[in-house]
Amino acid sequence: MVRSKSISGTIFDTLNILFMLLLAAVTLYPFWHVLIGSIMPYEESIRSVIYLFPQRPTFEAYHYVFSKDTLVGALLVSVFVTAAGMLYQLFITAITAYPLIKQDLPGRTFIFMYIIFTMFFGGGLIPYYLLIKSLGMVNSLAVMIIPAAISTYNMIVLKTFFQNIPLELEESAKIDGAGYMTIFFRIILPLSVPALTTIGLFIAVGQWNNWYTPMLFLNDKDLWPLAMVLRDILINNNMELTRGGSYVSQEFMLGDTIKNAVVIVSVVPIIIVYPFIQKHFVKGVMIGSIKS
Amino acid sequence: MKEMQAKIANPKTAQPLKAPNDVWRRILKYRMLYVMVLPSVAFLFIFHYIPIYGASIAFKDFWVTKGILGSPWVGFEHFEKLFRTDKFWQVFRNTIEINLLRLAFGFPAPIVLAILLNEVRNRLFKRSIQTIVYLPHFISWVTIAGIIFTLLSNEGLVNKAIIALGGDPVNFLTSNGMFRPLLVLSGIWKEVGWGTIIYLAALAGVNPDLYEAATVDGANRFKQILHITLPSLLPIISILLILNFGSMMNGGFDQVFNLYNTMVYESGDVIDTYVYRIGLTQGEYSVATAIGLFLNLINFVLLVIVNWTAKRIGGQGIY
C-alpha cells in the first residue's frame, strides 16, 4: 500500500500510534496493578498510588495461597473440571457435527433444527435448576461437566470445518471397507486437529472461568473450583481464606495482597494458553459468524 | 475412473433417485451416523427440552413437594401479578435502557478501533496491539469485577489519585449515577478489541488499489477513511446492528451480577439478575419462571424478526 507522506498524514499517523499505545496501557495496566499488588509489601502499598514496581518484592501472598488447602483443592478441582469438561464436550460436539455434513442423511434438517432451536429458546433458569436438583446433581462435580455436552456454536464451526475435508479421502477409506465410525476416528478427527485444538481451548477457558454453575449447584465448599473461590473472596468479600485462624493481624494486612495473588493465579493459565488460541481464533470467529 | 471421480465430486449425481425405498436404503446405510448424533440429541432432550416443559410451572401454583405434574394450574395469575408489580417494570426498563446505552457507545467502539487499527502501517506494531486488546475477552467477569473493585473502591487507585490531586473521593461503585457508565465502560474495555476481529476481516478484503487511486486523486487520510474504509464496512455494520437488537432483552448477567450491589439496584438491576434473586434467593419459583418465560418469548420473537431483516438486507442470518 503506497500512500503519500503529507504533513497531515504524518500527524495522523503519530496521533494514531499514540492512541494505540494509550489503549494498550489502559488494557494492560489493571493487570499490572494487580500483579504488582500481589508482590508489594503492605507498608509500601499504602504509600504509593500508582504501582510501577515494588522496592522490596515479597512472595508471601503466594506462599500463603499455596499453603491453604482450600485454595490448592480449588486449583485441583479447576484443573480436573477443565480437562474433563473439555475432552467430553469436544468429543460430543465433534461426533455430532460429523453426521450433519452428509447432505443426503434422512432427517438431517430435523436434527439440525432440533439442535439449533436450543440456541434460541429455553425453559429458563428455574426449570433448569429444578431439573438438576431432581437429577441429584446438586453438590456433585458432574454438574460442571455432564449438562454442557454440546455447544451449538462450536458444533457449527466444526461442521463447517469437516465440510472442507475432501470427500475423496473418505471414499477411498470406504472402498477399503471402513465404516463411518472408523472414518470419523481415523480420518476426520486426525485431519481436524487444528480446529479441535482451537475449539478445545475455547471450551477450556470457559470451563476454567465457570463460576456460575458452582454458584447455583455446589454448596459444598470442598467442591468449589478456583473461579468460585475467587468470586467468594473478591465479590462476596469473604475473608475467611484471607484472614483465618491465629494469624489474624498479619493476614489482615495481607488481605488485599492475597486477593491480588488469587487473581493472578486464576489469570495465568489463560495467559499461557492465549497465544495458542490466538493463532486460530480469528478463523474460528469468522467461520462461526459468517458462514452459519 | 473419471466417471467415478465425477460422481464423488458431485454427490447430487451420485444419488439421483428419491424413491421411498431409497430413503430406507440411505437410513440403513447411514445407521451408524444416527448412533453418533444420539448422545447430543439425548443430552439436549434432558437438559434443554425437559426444562422447556418445566416452564409450565409459570402457569401453576408450584409446590416442590407436589412436583410439576401434581401442582394445580392457575392460568395467567402469575403473569397478571407480575405485570402489576412496579419492581418488574423497573428492571424491564433498566434492561432496555442499559442496552440502549451499550448500543450507543459499545457498538461503535470496535468500529472506530478497527478503522484506526487498519491505518497502522507497521505490521508488527499492529499485531502487538491486537494481541493486547483481545486479551480481556478471555478473562471472566468475576476477575474483572475484582480488578475494578481494587481500582475504583474508596481506597482504590483512582480515588487515591483524586485525593492526591486535591479532589474529593468519588463513590464509583455504590452510586446510581455512576453504575450505568461503569457497566458501559467496563463492557467496552473488555470487548472492544475482540469486537474488531470481524471488521478487520472485512477490511482485509478491500482492494488496496482503491486507496492508491484515492491518493493519486489527492484524497487525504481522513477522506480515504470516509469514502473507502467506512463504506466497505457498512454491510457488516448494518447486519451486526440488526443482530444487536436481537439481544435487547439480555441484561448481561455475568457483568451486572458481579458488579452490582443493593445500593445500585435502582439503576442497574436487570431482568436476569431479578429472576435469579426472586427465584433462587426468595424461592418464588413460579413467578421467576413466569418472568423467564416472558423474557425468552420476547427474545425469540426479536431473534426471528432480526434474522428475517438481516437476511433481507444482507442475505445472511444467524441461522
Contacts of A95 in chain B (CB under 8 A): 36-37, 39-40
**Last residue within a domain, chosen from A58, A76, A95:** A58
Q: How confident is the model at residue A248 (pLDDT cuts 50, 70, 90)?
A: very low
Nearest to B48 among A118, A155, A234 (CB): A118
CA distance B189 to B184: 9
Residue-level pLDDT at B182: 95
Say which CATH number the domain at B133 has.
1.10.3720.10
Residues A246 and A167 in one domain: yes
**Last residue within a domain, chosen from A25, A40, A58:** A58
In the structure grid, which three cell numbers stand for residue A122, read together?
Answer: 429455553
Q: Which domain holds residue B182?
A: 82-314
Q: How many domains does chain A have?
A: 2
Say which CATH number the domain at A107 has.
1.10.3720.10
CA distance A232 to A69: 16
Residue-level pLDDT at B317: 55
Whole-number Cα distances in Å, B291 to B75, B78, B92, B146, B276: 14, 9, 10, 30, 10
For chain B, which residues score pLDDT lower than 70? 1-20, 314-319
Q: How many domains does chain B have?
A: 2
Residues A169 and A51 in one domain: no
More confident residue, A106 or A65: A106
Q: Which domain holds residue A13?
A: 1-58
Residues B89 and B236 in one domain: yes
Residues A53 and A64 in one domain: no
Cβ within 8 Å of residue B72, ≥6 positions away: B60, B61
pTM, rounded to two decimals: 0.86
Contacts of A81 in chain B (CB under 8 A): none
pLDDT beyond 80 at A4: no
CA distance A5 to A27: 31
Residue B226 domain flag: yes
Residue B204 domain flag: yes
Name B295's bridge partners.
Answer: none
**DSSP per-residue codes, A113-137:** HHHHHHHH----HHHHHHHHHHTT-
Residue-level pLDDT at A71: 85
Candidates A103, A196, A194, A127; CA nearest to A155 is A196
Buried b (16+ CB within 10 A) or exposed e, B145-181: bbbbbbbbbeebbebbeeeeeeeeeeebbeeeebbbe
Residue-level pLDDT at B275: 92
pLDDT beyond 60 at A242: no
Among the residue ranges A142-146, A285-289, B210-214, B306-310, the one predicted with the least confidence is A285-289
Q: For the residues A53-75, what does the mean pLDDT come to? A: 83
Among the residue ranges A7-11, A202-206, B41-45, the one predicted with the least confidence is A7-11
Neighbours of B27 (CB within 10 A): 14
**Last residue within a domain, chosen from B15, B42, B70:** B70
Residues A258 and A195 in one domain: yes
Residue B77 domain flag: no
In the structure grid, which three cell numbers stand for residue A27, read together?
Answer: 488494557
DSSP annotation of B57 reads G
**Last residue within a domain, chosen from B47, B70, B93:** B70
What mean pLDDT, rounded, does chain A reach?
84
Contacts of A31 in chain B (CB under 8 A): 147
Cβ within 8 Å of residue B143, ≥6 positions away: A209, A230, A234, A263, A266, A267
**DSSP per-residue codes, B190-251:** HHHHHHHHHHHHHHHTS-HHHHHHHHHTT--HHHHIIIIIHHHHHHHHHHHHHHHHTTTT--
Residues B95 and B140 in one domain: yes
In total, chain A counts a number of residues equal to 292
Residues A31 and A124 in one domain: no
pLDDT beyond 60 at A247: no
Residues A7 and A110 in one domain: no
Q: How confident is the model at residue A49 (pLDDT cuts 50, 70, 90)?
A: low
Interface A-B: count of C-beta contacts within 8 A: 269
Residues A84 and A219 in one domain: yes
Percent of chain A with pLDDT over 90: 41
pLDDT beyond 80 at A98: yes
Residues A259 and A282 in one domain: yes
**Last residue within a domain, chosen from B40, B70, B100:** B70
Give per-residue pLDDT as tens, A104-140.
899 999 999 999 898 888 888 999 999 999 999 999 9
Chain B interface mutation, best of A11, A126, A180, A203, highest count of B Cβ atoms under 10 Å: A126
In the structure grid, which three cell numbers stand for residue B230, read together?
Answer: 467506512
d(CA A217, nearest CA chain B) in Å:
11
Nearest to A171 among B8, B211, B319 (CB): B8
Does any CB of chain B come closer than 8 Å to the CB of residue A45?
A: no
**Last residue within a domain, chosen from A58, A77, A100:** A58
Nearest to B119 among A16, A179, A266 (CB): A16
